[in-house]
Structure 1
Amino acid sequence: MPGIALDPATTMLGLVDVQPTFMPGGALAVAGGDAVVPVINRLLAGPFAHAFATQDWHPPGHSSFASSHPGRAAFDSVEMPYGMQTLWPDHAVQGSAEAALHPALDQRRIELVVRKGFRPAIDSYSAFFENDRTTTTGLDGWLRARGVSQLFLAGLATDYCVAFSAEDAARLGYRVFVIEDACRGIGLPLPEGGDTVTAARARLAALGVGFVTSADLLG
């Protein structure tokens, strides 16, 4: 793609939460979430020599589960010590089939799997930080040790874990692109109007995050 050099020495594909729990039939299903898998596999077979993946990995009774808050429902918000937290259905429970990386995902070029959200009292959207915004996953150090300066992100969901990962990557100094047809979003309505996908895209664009499609990269 003009203006984007896919130098394998400095470029990495990041696969965010490509897990059955976020796909049709899963506990926190994203509409069309399973459609990202074949797109990602084409990217892994094509221009990207190196990739990492993230994996939501919650213990039973995690503090972000609505079931852990009597009287609360999924998608309510509650105040946590680290700020406001959306409550979710129980999902990505450690060791479950739903929490595994999707079985159809081609993992041969995935060199690191970052498990996040495993601390019982802190949720984690970003590949780089837990939701307290100070506890790191270690991914930044690993990428820098590898000499990576440019990231392309794909996976689930566009408006949460992909968006938070892209935002943190941009703030940390990486050149960042979101591969739009390799992502799907939840699209929760916002009180001020619009939805979380539209808001996330605007926020990322303001930070200089680019948006591409797999066709731009595969030619």
Structure 2
Amino acid sequence: MSPPTPFVPALVIVDLQNDFCPPNGALPVPSGRDVIAPINKLLQLPFVLKIATLDWHPPNHISFADNHPPGNAPFTSETIIPHPENPDRIYKTTLWPVHCVQNTPGAELVSELDQSLLDGVVKKGQDPRVEMYSAFTDPFHEGQQPWDPESNSVCTSDLARTLKEKGVTDVYVVGLAMDYCVKSTAIHAVKYGYRTWVVKEGTKAVAGDDGNRDSTREMEEEGVKIVGLESDEVAWVQGSAQGADVILRCPW
């Protein structure tokens, strides 16, 4: 199977941070460290852009159970988050343990990741008032037309604009966790107009097999394609003339 034309691939590595990895992470994803070797293998391929994302929360972030009244527990409790400028717009989110706090060891990329091959880093979840699973934008962007970076969402990163400026057509997504930040980032990539591929060996779910199954279904319903490390779709990157000839650096 031949690649589509044009084909300009980018790699987005979502939240491969210490706090999401066992055995010592504050919010460990089961078998989360198993994704490191496949991701390093992908980093060797000639993607035109290789971006890592970081959950980068302030200590008072709204998603932390500790920042809510007693009786709220990580993983089981939920909270309603209103839009800071329009309280009629709301969404519900799970409460989590304190994790990936800015400038702490838990928020750092895992040391085993070959960071020398990265072109840039996108920090997300920095506004204490809203969650930001996606590396593109927060949940308040949902349903707005046209889908573009100039929305009235609370937090929107420069990721979509940077991909567009580099002429990217295809976004490959890996990292942690499959059923939250990977899923949201991949679905948003589709909404921004990119062919989007999640490489299954490069991601794990918080909810284990159930999370893997459910998030796979949800992503496929939104147009995301789930592929393997040895798939034709990954082999396309190795053969891409653009990736072999172009070296790009992000301004982050």
Q: TM-score, normalised by structure 2?
A: 0.79
Corresponding residue SS for 2:139: coil
CA RMSD in angstroms comes to 2.0
Contact residue 57 and residue 118 of structure 1 kept, 8 A: yes
Contact residue 19 and residue 99 of structure 2 kept, 8 A: yes
Partner of 1:180: 200
Alignment of 1:20-39 (within 5 A): 20-24=18-22, 25-39=24-38
Offset from partner CA, 1:132-190 (integer Å, 9 cap, x none): 332311210011011111001100000100000011111111000000011000127xx
1:79 alignment partner AA: I
Offset from partner CA, 1:98-119 (integer Å, 9 cap, x none): 1011111112231121100011
Unaligned ranges ≥5, structure 2: 83-89, 142-152, 239-252
Corresponding residue SS for 1:108: helix
Corresponding residue SS for 2:80: strand
Find the partner of 2:94 among 86, 90, 100: 86
Aligned residues: 212
2:215 pairs with 1:207: no
Bigger mean CA deviation after superposition, 44-53 or 159-168: 44-53
2:198 alignment partner AA: V
Offset from partner CA, 1:172-216 (integer Å, 9 cap, x none): 11000000011000127xxxxx94432221121122211111122
Identity within the alignment, %: 37
Partner of 2:130: 122
1:74 alignment partner AA: P
Q: Which has the larger radius of gyration?
A: 2
Partner of 1:12: 10
Q: Note the C-alpha offset of 1:5.
A: 5.6
Corresponding residue SS for 1:115: strand
Distance 1:5 1:101 in 2: 33
Offset from partner CA, 1:81-134 (integer Å, 9 cap, x none): 031011000000111111011111112231121100011111110010123332
Corresponding residue SS for 1:55: strand
Contact residue 6 and residue 47 of structure 1 kept, 8 A: no
Unaligned ranges ≥5, structure 1: 189-193
Distance 2:80 2:2 in 1: 43
Corresponding residue SS for 1:179: strand
1:54 alignment partner AA: T
2:115 alignment partner AA: Q
1:42 alignment partner AA: K
Bigger mean CA deviation after superposition, 76-85 or 64-73: 76-85
Partner of 1:72: 72
Partner of 2:246: none
2:165 pairs with 1:145: yes
Offset from partner CA, 1:22-43 (integer Å, 9 cap, x none): 0001000001111111111111
Distance 2:193 2:100 in 1: 30
2:137 alignment partner AA: F
Corresponding residue SS for 1:36: helix
Contact residue 176 and residue 210 of structure 1 kept, 8 A: yes
Distance 1:6 1:36 in 2: 30
Q: TM-score, normalised by structure 1?
A: 0.90
Partner of 1:191: none
